[in-house]
Structure 1
């Protein structure tokens, strides 16, 4: 299983890079509560999680006494999900003193509104004791379950007709680098070859809906399901080991985009060309993706990059080109952006696109570096130990290496 944290304003400032470096794979942050409250730290956390390369999610603390549609709209106004983000979360842990039937009806109103607006079936967060006290409702079992149960047992208690949990908050007093004080820590219920149960059946169903044949929807993660999972991972540009991690599941849970084309069984033929529009939709800031986009840019003439920038920015003229990495970072699925990407793809040689596709889809099988220099630069604060580290590195580079770095840095 893989771990992640969830936070609210209570945790204050979070260093998401330190969280990621501590082994956490995902983060879920409080966005809204009731019909009016917005978390002060939401936007900083939302941006910080993406910058640190974590799978990110957002939750709404539901207040049954408040208008459910107003609560849904407040959440939707604030949280703008992107490809690879987790589905929205409805946090229900109080009845506000109203009848259980009314709580259930108002929850359903919120869930329906948010699912239609986001194209993702929301996750329900709750406690087993609370859920059972309200009547142990069975009608919500189609929603993924995030259960809060602090126990020494090897698994949490699953109420309400659910057959499996997707996330399990197993402590509210964990210690994680980058967070001051105690913090909630969660498991994600990953599945892989050899896994069985309802979570496997859910993954199989989602793979099939995306156009990847897992075989029978039988809750058994066998070789055919692994082949389908690997093909889906290849299509979205993640590690291709067949393990359904939070990142892979987030893409499976997203029904807003056309399913990636299933990858055929590998053959000795060259890697097929790739869609630049799909590249931007599935960009996650992974090192091999950044390297592939940087290498592609070096193969494109400055004149072509200027024309692409003009089309991308939808302007009559432009003075400067644009980096392909920035194109991926700021992609918003706008018509002008997609048209510019299609135009650029038509200008590039098929052999160049094949080389790019190979690099994009096949990350090197290497241990991750202890530090990424681009992130070190991003979080530079002028501290003495940081200055000593940069000075140490500079003394070990030759003059020619520094000159070449300066050329890339200045784009000259």
Structure 2
């Protein structure tokens, strides 16, 4: 069976690559806590997660155009019933089909958005290739075009630009550190440390920070850069 990589599975291998340059102390950041999960966390006690202070969750929905998370529905419903703000994410495979094709597949399998106050815009997880060449065989310009294709398709169908999950290292290597998305797409940055370093070009700040691949709660550990009211506004599109 083909191995399906999640954000969690990449964590340990990538930690050393997330070096910080302009430190911001994690201890001083009082933002809402979140987690992201995939089929690697098939059974999540969402009531306990909520009691632990988690306010939002991203759940893996799809990868490429052939994989859907078999646990997505139960995880999504569980997070909803517990009162979390939640959304789906898509693991990008720029080597197998166009950005538009994958955005359409994502939207058809859990990646949609509506202004209901509890749904986060879908996230594009674009990072190190677990199956081959780091940049999926694309040039930097071709990669930027692929991300634009995905992003614009998602926007056309939902009225929201997708969140982009990445690392500064991968983004610099594989997009040439493109600044093309900083004014439209919220940034979800992965950096496993107590300080947040340099962000990819174009983004003056992160919207989400994945700061650890394990913790008190299941899956990866995240922070929202704002307060609870800001998180709720993001789920309404305001």
Normalised to the residue count of structure 1, the TM-score between the two structures is: 0.46
Q: Does structure 1 retain, via aligned residues, the 8 Å contact 2:172–2:178? A: yes
Q: Which residue of 1 aligns with 2:226?
A: 190
1-side partners of 2:78 and 2:156: how far apart? Answer: 27
SS at match of 2:233: helix
Shift of 1:118: 1.3
SS at match of 2:50: helix
Q: Does structure 2 retain, via aligned residues, the 8 Å contact 1:167–1:189? A: yes
Q: Does structure 1 retain, via aligned residues, the 8 Å contact 2:33–2:221? A: yes
Name the one with the larger helix percent.
1
Shift of 1:147: 0.3
SS at match of 1:71: helix
SS at match of 2:141: helix
Are 1:252 and 2:237 counterparts?
yes
SS at match of 2:76: helix
Superposed, which structure 2 residues align to 1:4-403 within 5 Å?
Answer: 4-67=34-97, 68-79=99-110, 80-82=112-114, 83-84=116-117, 85-94=119-128, 95-134=135-174, 135-142=176-183, 143-153=185-195, 155-176=196-217, 179=218, 183-191=219-227, 244-253=229-238
Shift of 1:100: 1.8
2-side partners of 1:28 and 1:171: how far apart? Answer: 14
2-side partners of 1:185 and 1:124: how far apart? Answer: 17
Q: Does structure 1 retain, via aligned residues, the 8 Å contact 2:160–2:237? A: no
2-side partners of 1:159 and 1:72: how far apart? Answer: 22
Q: Does structure 2 retain, via aligned residues, the 8 Å contact 1:150–1:169? A: yes
- Unpaired runs of at least 5, structure 2: 1-30, 129-134
Number of equivalenced pairs: 196
Q: Does structure 2 retain, via aligned residues, the 8 Å contact 1:5–1:185? A: yes
RMSD across aligned positions (CA): 1.5
Q: Which residue of 2 aligns with 1:327?
A: none
Normalised to the residue count of structure 2, the TM-score between the two structures is: 0.78
- Hey, which bits of structure 1, 4+ residues long, moved more than 6 A? none
Q: Does structure 1 retain, via aligned residues, the 8 Å contact 2:193–2:211? A: yes
2-side partners of 1:125 and 1:102: how far apart? Answer: 18
2-side partners of 1:124 and 1:137: how far apart? Answer: 13
Name the one with the larger strand percent.
2
SS at match of 2:205: coil
- Unpaired runs of at least 5, structure 1: 192-242, 254-412
Q: Does structure 2 retain, via aligned residues, the 8 Å contact 1:7–1:184? A: yes
2-side partners of 1:10 and 1:48: how far apart? Answer: 16
2-side partners of 1:117 and 1:23: how far apart? Answer: 33
2-side partners of 1:70 and 1:115: how far apart? Answer: 14
SS at match of 1:246: helix
Shift of 1:106: 1.1
